[in-house]
Structure 1
Amino acid sequence: MNSSKETGPDAGLGKFGDPVVLGLSGGFVVLFVVLSLIDIEGVAGAISVGFAWTAAVMGSYFQLLLLLTFFIAMGLAVSPAASAKVGGLDTPELSTFKWLSIIMCTLLAGGGVFFAAGEPVYHFVVTPPAFDSEAGTVEAVAGALAQSFMHWGFLAWAVLGSLTAIVLAYWHYDRGLPLQPRTLLYPVLGERLMRSWVGGVVDACCVIAVVAGTVGPIGFLATQVSFGLHELFGLSAGYATQLIILVVLGALYVTSAATGIHRGIQLLSRFNVFLALAIAAVIFIFGPTLFFTNAYLQGFGKYISSFFAMATMTSETAPGWWMQWWTVFFFAWFIGYGPLMAIFVARISRGRTIRQMILAVAVMAPIATTVWFTLLGGAGIHYQLTGAIDLAEALNNFQFDVATLTVAQALPGGMLMALAILLLTTIFVATTGDSMSYAIAVVCTGHDEPHTAVRIFWGITMSLMAAILLYMGSGQIGVLQQFIVITAIPVSLVLLPSLWLGPQAAYAMAREQGLTTRKKVIVNE
């Protein structure tokens, strides 16, 4: 076993990592900002064209990749190999609560909290293509929740850390290769990939996708909190306020990333889980409890019964704009996060069985997410249905920051609940910032414990990039998020081999631990 020694093809890189990865990923950040300053409309137009083409041409492939990942992972979870333990430890490094807290906060925070209030209400006032209920009626509630569950449920979570995490865990802990995206391709392409500049390009593509996907929530959080402070206290919602918010947020998650998994990242995640549970309890107990209960049962039932109809819908059977901005956009976003999230899941899951890892990421976390969407989004639907709020116009203009605050103010507790949800959202985004700063540093250096300076560099870089894009106009952050759909093409090719390499790696671990005698060939083993 190898967990702490610097072995493998990248062992000699030094603490600051591969210059190809650092150069390409850092160069992208600089190039995007410079080109935006020179010709902001040209950059937006070019990315918009690429975004539309990718959604139209690659959308079905993305959907199929997520479906296969989930069902193969579920099959593996019930196999004998699933009893194998990750990382060669008999007992887990982290307690179950700490482990689940980090998983929930890291993977949900990328946008789930931001969309939890607005997306179900949007699908309530604009009926999704998979359903034919009349928008804004009681009959539309189940379909609205079901569509939100599809976007943030089993398929989304499975691609973030099931099969890929198993491949990385085996080749890192058992075979001494670095925790880098290129390791996912090693069983197919071999030693040359690990040592050549091509491996650096693979890693850089995955880093760029995560940077693009993380800067978005950071920037949107600044606009959301500044809007909230303006509505609640009359403070300016301008750029100066947004900049102060970014500085505070950046300081929070950079400090957390610098102190590492066992200190800052763990503490921040635990605090956020307790806060989320408290808010959820208040909403459920003092809000429309019966409505929540009925809506969840009906929504989850509709999610299961219409699962394949929603998961396999294409632009041939649904409006192209809808697929582009909803299902394909979200699925591509999750694919873009996939390799680095898998690295993070593999890093925190030592001592866990493969079965525990799969079920936690691909089953338990999605179910918890559907409950959260029901409480926050279901409250929005209830208040929209009863006329207490009207979000139709705001959501048709995709103003989800308005939706979150509006629903929060309508909840029991009014201003206090709104402040609590703004705090929760802030810390959720911070947990994404710290974990992704850490994961990017792991990729750049090839070390389990990357140099603190590299973690800090990437944390500051993402905050700085968000600040520059907000200065140019919040629309540029939206442009950057569209770019992640384009980056999902190369990243999906990195994830694809895990469909067969995941089960192979699991059985290899199980054989080495004496749990099965089944013969499986691992290429290049």
Structure 2
Amino acid sequence: MQKRSKLDPYVFWPAIAVLLVVTALLVSFQDTVAPLITQALSLITYQMDWVFEFLTFGIFIMLLWFAAGRYGNIRFGNQDELPAFGNFSYGAMLFCAGMGTSIMFWSIIEPMYYYQYPPFQIEGQSAAAAEWALTYGLFHWGVSAWSIYTMPTIVIAYSLYNKGNRSLKISQACKGVLGSKADGWLGRVIDIFVIWSLVGGLGTSLGLGVPMLAAGIGDLFGIEQSTQLSIGIIFIWSVIYLTSATLGLEKGISKLSNINVYLAITLALFVLVVGPTSFLFSYFTDSFGNMAQNFMRMSFYTDPIHKSGFPQDWTVFYWVWFACTAPFLGLFVARISKGRTIKSVIVNMLAWGTLGGWLYFAVMGGYAMHLQLTDVFNVVQSMTDNGNAQTIINVLNTLPMGKIVVLFFVILGFIFLATSLDSASFVLASTASKSAGDGEEPAVWHTIIWGLIMAVLAISLLLIGGLKVVQSSTVIVAVPVLIIYLLLIISILRWLRQDHDLKEQH
């Protein structure tokens, strides 16, 4: 019989109140708030660019040190415990939770932005711009991004399985520094911050995913783009999600993620085979070499002399963005990592996550660039004329059996959104529960409530056009998230030293 954890009223009710009040304020005063949020965002990305670049690179080096050093063999749970999920299911859940519809959207669109507005003062839409276009896509969705995701996972899993902190909460993972304060008001403030950043993160998945699916459905059935269509999409998607959520972690999310990965790989392989195969392999190889050679330059590029804004608008924004959504992925992956070693979690997350992202950028981004360079279809012009969501569908329509590809793409998008919401509701319910120890899951009604709150929020924001404001507002929690990261890093270092170094000395 599945054990169910009890609701934590001190996190649940304040979190709901904060969500409703802040969303209401953001939407009611959109005209005043939007410019303020834009200012705050540019303040964070321009004044703190170096902080986030050093943090990201530092975390990457630290994870390599953990994996290669003597801490790598420490197991989450008992030393003889076997992992709860096989490598494929584990990798599938990692990838679906971490990437979702964002990768379907950006793998086609992002390289085309870099082609038009390249870094390093390169001329837009030139041969050099095309060389850097995929390079930057691979960089932004590669090991640096996944390092940001992996660090909280390690700390939360260690807190849950090795330190006996029964709650699946970020506040508990900061206990190495905060001590008993993590159980008081300070811990609750941290958890409410995490809930806010997660809801905004999901808002972005919706903000990208819903218009893209609406464009696909419009293309297939000749339906006009409308708010009703978007609401219909959220409704169907909620039904898929509710079915999966009621089945729980093992039967629901895990199965849905497996199906998802098979579909995602099938789509990528189809494009690889029927598309310009040789060009796609060649372009990826060249871009990979370019990225490997310039990895340090791209990691620390701030452009203070020319002030193009490229690193702030893209690299720093991405690092901030990933850091804001990372606690969610960390909580989810920690929950499925029992029985794995620190090294296994680091290698799996960095490898599976990066390879999944690269596969999509290499195939979809490469295909879009090939259309552009061979004048088969002007992707850049389509982005200007029809917007990004419609351009993605236009690109897919240039493939053989275009309509079938679009249908496949829409189904994949639906499932991706459902798995994202699935994992998110699970994590939100866990964060607002008293404990989530071994084999414990939040009550089904509790998980479903969070899913419904997300769907209702999404529909309300769509109706009043406030999705953009709420998306941007999550990145404003970047400064508290930065502090949470430092607390997590100090916590894990202290715990490992206490539990392993000091023991060896005695």
- TM-score range (shorter-chain normalised) is over 0.9
CA distance in structure 2 between the partners assigned to 1:284 and 1:508 by the alignment: 50
Specify the code of the residue in structure 1 equivalent to 2:410: L
Q: Percent identity over the alignment?
A: 27
Partner of 2:451: 459
| 1:503–1:199 CA distance, 2 compared to 1 (3 A) | closer
Alpha-carbon distance, 1:395 to partner: 4.1
Matches within 5 A, 1:418-497: 418-448=406-436, 449-473=441-465, 476-497=466-487
CA distance in structure 2 between the partners assigned to 1:181 and 1:315 by the alignment: 34
Partner of 1:57: 47
CA distance in structure 2 between the partners assigned to 1:359 and 1:190 by the alignment: 30
Q: Secondary structure in 2 aligned to 1:86?
A: coil
Aligned pair 1:301/2:293, yes or no? no
Partner of 1:94: 85
Deviations 1:105-138 (A, max 9, x none): 11111622221110012212321x2473x43344
CA distance in structure 2 between the partners assigned to 1:244 and 1:311 by the alignment: 41
Greater CA deviation, 81-90 or 343-352?
A: 81-90
Which of 382, 395, 410 aligns to 2:398? It is 410
Alpha-carbon distance, 1:429 to partner: 1.9
Aligned pair 1:121/2:124, yes or no? no
Which of 73, 88, 91 aligns to 2:63? It is 73
Alpha-carbon distance, 1:5 to partner: 9.4
* Structure 2 residues without counterparts, runs of 5 or longer: none
8 A Cα contact 2:302 2:312, kept in partner? no
| 1:266–1:187 CA distance, 2 compared to 1 (3 A) | same
CA distance in structure 2 between the partners assigned to 1:493 and 1:29 by the alignment: 21
Alpha-carbon distance, 1:393 to partner: 4.1
Deviations 1:284-307 (A, max 9, x none): 111111111111111111111111
Partner of 1:10: none
Deviations 1:222-266 (A, max 9, x none): 222112222332112101111110011122223323322101101
Alpha-carbon distance, 1:363 to partner: 2.9
| 1:519–1:420 CA distance, 2 compared to 1 (3 A) | farther
Matches within 5 A, 1:242-321: 242-314=230-302, 316-317=304-305, 319=307, 321=309
Aligned pair 1:367/2:358, yes or no? no
8 A Cα contact 2:38 2:472, kept in partner? yes
Aligned pair 1:345/2:333, yes or no? yes
Q: Secondary structure in 1 aligned to 2:265?
A: helix
CA distance in structure 2 between the partners assigned to 1:410 and 1:219 by the alignment: 25
Aligned pair 1:45/2:54, yes or no? no
TM-score by length of 2: 0.92
8 A Cα contact 1:376 1:407, kept in partner? no
Matches within 5 A, 1:43-192: 43-88=33-78, 90-109=81-100, 111-127=102-118, 129-130=119-120, 132=122, 134-161=123-150, 163-177=151-165, 178-191=167-180
CA distance in structure 1 between the partners assigned to 2:168 and 2:91 by the alignment: 21
* Structure 1 residues without counterparts, runs of 5 or longer: 7-13, 521-525
Alpha-carbon distance, 1:500 to partner: 4.4
8 A Cα contact 1:141 1:299, kept in partner? no
8 A Cα contact 2:425 2:451, kept in partner? yes
Specify the code of the residue in structure 1 equivalent to 2:485: L
Partner of 2:317: 329
Specify the code of the residue in structure 2 equivalent to 1:25: A
| 1:507–1:261 CA distance, 2 compared to 1 (3 A) | farther
Q: Secondary structure in 2 aligned to 1:250?
A: helix
